[in-house]
Structure formats: structure tokens, C-alpha cells
Homo-oligomer: A and B are copies of this chain.
């Protein structure tokens, strides 16, 4: 079989465009409406996507005036969606900075069991002081420290997920023996950030543990991804940048002693479709005209760590912005935005327009053929193993993608036509089930024993 695209549907209430909620078709209460998400999940399943994905941060962003705020907690929502779908993977974001490994490991193992092996974890370190202040901290921990904690958190979680061997349960009713205690391996972890003594209270799950996903592209983020991630979400504005990122990450993965094929790179794309290019551009314009520029300015000042009211909507960014190394928040997104503005000499107002659709992800307006071409080009020219599809408006943008772009990708042999038998999320991404770290492989049984 030829190499196939991996598609992930990044779901976000009324869509990724910040003004999407203002369109007549949009439901401003979609953010907490389970039926809305069930509908989206089923559309994505019709499009044979590998997975769907929910972003998250443990804080209320900005003000509620500007656009839908708040959401259903991702693992809760994905658990409900697990019962409404059959094939699609379910990837939840959860923070290593503001969770305990024991609690989070349990929850992912439980989702993996309930969904029949379809759970994924987008491991994030959570930028921003708002989140820190909801968890007893006065300020956000430094970027490097957040990633150090993320690595230890992941190690502990892996120990917990391997704390039951797959065949721990013997269920011998006659003897009154339910399980084999020799196959339970308490972590007894004592580290810098965590100490966790006991075994998990959930048996090993269908996938062993959830698919590990990562989404930060800073130096520390890439190092983390090379070590742990099986799929990487990333925001890339140009083919060249995406190729550079792809090559770098694959090389790092190899240097970390892993098979580079076992890490899938998925850039984000915000497709805005039309039956002609002009219509697509008109659709994009309608959305952009609904942006309230003052809201965008506030968010931009926040990302760039500038005091409120510093930016002038009709001028370019100030020339004296600090280097990425001085930023403790979201490093790679900072650099992407500054470089985009400088490269295209955008005014703040124009920059806000460019960020309105995908917050730094590539927005691509065009016909279904043009979108399929762009996807095919990035896929075949070493920039992507698949895509994180981020519709500007939901559900209509996802419906349009599945109805018009998916058939073209299938006709070109880039995407499967159906799911076939039930599989785990990791199998969909072409990855092996991880072995339990406590199991030493036994030699194959001698033929004479059969």
C-alpha cells in the first residue's frame, strides 16, 4: 500500500475563525452542546479521519465579551463521544504543569478502555500566568522548567501504565485467585517533581497507553517530541518552513534512538472552500470582516508580552521586540507571528486578519482541488505525514471538507475509502503497540511443545 495521509479533525465550538460564531448559521451555545460535537465527530468519521482533537487550558481566556468562552472539559467530552462513534481516535489535551500523574494516567487509561483503544494525549506544558494562578502559583513556571516537569510527568505516567502486565488477571474462581501479584509493578518513583509509589488502579489498556501527541515547536518542545511523541501538531506558514521542521524533527527522532517513522508530523491547515477561487476568497472576506480588531489587538499584545494599548492597528509591529529566548510563554508561536509580520510587512490590523482564521496556522482559501493540491504537495514533498484540519466554521467547514476534498484525496490514492475492521488509534497511525517495560521477551516456544 502506498503511503497514506493521516487526518486529524481539530474541533473547536463554532470553528477556528475567531469571528465564526457571528455568522447567521452558527450556534453561539455550541461550546457546551454535546449534540454539536456528536455531529462533528460523525462527520469526521464519514471522512475516515484518523482522529479528532480538542485543545485545552485550565483557565478562562481573556474576556467573555469577544467570543465563545469556556468549554466542556476535553476528557469528559471525548468520553461522551466515544460512545457515539466507532472508529475515530480521541485526542485530548492535558497539561503536565497543572495535573498529578496518578490522576491523569488513570483517566487516560479509562478512556482508552471505554473507547476500545482510541485514546490519545496531547501533552502540553501550558503557557501563561492565568493558569498558574488557578493552581496556587503566583507566576508561570519558566519555560525550561515546564518542559523538565513534562518529561518527568511522562516518565511517571509510562511507569503507571506499565504497572500492570497485560496478563495480570488470572481469574481462577476455583482457587479464589483473581490476579497475579508478581505481575504488578509499583513505580516507586522518587524524582524532582513527583514521587509516586503505587501501581495504577486501572489494568493495562487496549493500546498499552494512549497515543502520545505533542504540540510545542520550541527547541525544548522539539527535544521532548523526539523522545516521546508519536504524533506532532505544528503551525507552519510556508512549505519551506514546514520542510525544515519536518526534517529536523525526524532527524532528532532518529538521534534519540527511535524509528523516525514512529513520529508523525501533522501541520495545521485552515481550509476555506469555495466552488471557485473567487468564492473561497469571498467566504474568507466575510469572516474577516466580522473580526473586532480591538479584541485581536488585546490577544496579540498578550502573546507578544506587551502592555495593553501599546500596538497601533495601522502600523507595523515595533522594531524592538525581544528575542524568543526572553519569552517564557509560548515560544514557537511568538516567533512564528513576529516572522510572519516582518516577512510580509503587515500592519497590526492585517496581522490580526491573518491570525483570525487559525491563530498562526496556515489559512488556505481555494477550491477543493486547490486544497487537495496543497495537501498533496506538502505530503509528498517532505513537509507532512498528514494534516490537522482546522475548519474556519463548524460544522459547515468540516462538512464541506468531507464532501468535497476527501473524495479527491481518495481518488488520488492518498486516503483510505473506509475504515475496515475496528482498530486502535495507534494502529490507524501505523504505529506498533508499545511493549510493557517490565516484560522481557521469552524465546518462541519450541515446536516440540505444540
Interface residue from B72, B99, B130 paired with A113 (Cβ < 8 Å):
B72
A168 to B69, CA, bound (A): 11
A94 to B136, CA, bound (A): 20
Among the 9-residue stretches A189-197, A218-226, A410-418, the one with 4 or more Cβ atoms under 8 Å from chain B is: A189-197
Q: Which residues of B contact A34 (CB under 8 A)?
A: 113-114
A185 to chain B, nearest CB (A): 11
**What string of 1s and 0s marks CB contacts (under 8 Å) between A18-58 and chain B?**
01011110101100101000000000000000000000011
For A177, give the chain B residue with the smallest CB separation: B65
- Given contacts A22-B173, A136-B194, 15 further A-B pairs with CB under 8 A are A21-B171, A28-B169, A59-B201, A60-B199, A64-B168, A65-B180, A65-B181, A66-B176, A67-B178, A72-B110, A72-B114, A80-B82, A83-B84, A98-B100, A134-B196
A157 to chain B, nearest CB (A): 12
Known: A98-B103, A292-B176. A63 touches B201 (CB 8 A): no
A304 to B16, CA, bound (A): 57
Q: Which residues of B contact A84 (CB under 8 A)?
A: 83
**A73 within 8 Å of B by Cβ?**
yes
Known: A98-B100, A130-B198. A178 touches B69 (CB 8 A): yes
**A239 within 8 Å of B by Cβ?**
no
Q: Which residues of B contact A73 (CB under 8 A)?
A: 106-107, 109-110, 202
Q: Which residues of B contact A153 (CB under 8 A)?
A: none
**A299 within 8 Å of B by Cβ?**
no
For A171, give the chain B residue with the smallest CB separation: B28
A68 to B168, CA, bound (A): 11
**A433 within 8 Å of B by Cβ?**
no
Assess whether B80 is in contact with A135, with CB atoms less than 8 Å apart: no
**What string of 1s and 0s marks CB contacts (under 8 Å) between A89-120 and chain B?**
00000000011101100110111011000000
A200 to B109, CA, bound (A): 26
Interface residue from B24, B65, B136, B168 paired with A179 (Cβ < 8 Å):
B65
Q: Which residues of B contact A58 (CB under 8 A)?
A: 102-103, 106, 201
**A303 within 8 Å of B by Cβ?**
no
For A291, give the chain B residue with the smallest CB separation: B176
Q: Which residues of B contact A24 (CB under 8 A)?
A: 173
A448 to chain B, nearest CB (A): 33
Known: A58-B201, A198-B134. A178 touches B72 (CB 8 A): no
A163 to B75, CA, bound (A): 22
A107 to B61, CA, bound (A): 18
**Can you report 6 residue pairs joining A to B where beta carbons are below 8 Å apart?**
A24-B173, A58-B103, A65-B177, A72-B202, A80-B80, A103-B103
Q: Which residues of B contact A201 (CB under 8 A)?
A: 57-61, 69-71
Give the contacts of A145-168 with B (CB-CB under 8 A): 164, 168
Assess whether A66 is in contact with B178, with CB atoms less than 8 Å apart: yes
**A388 within 8 Å of B by Cβ?**
no
**A133 within 8 Å of B by Cβ?**
yes
Assess whether B64 is in contact with A180, with CB atoms less than 8 Å apart: yes
**A262 within 8 Å of B by Cβ?**
no
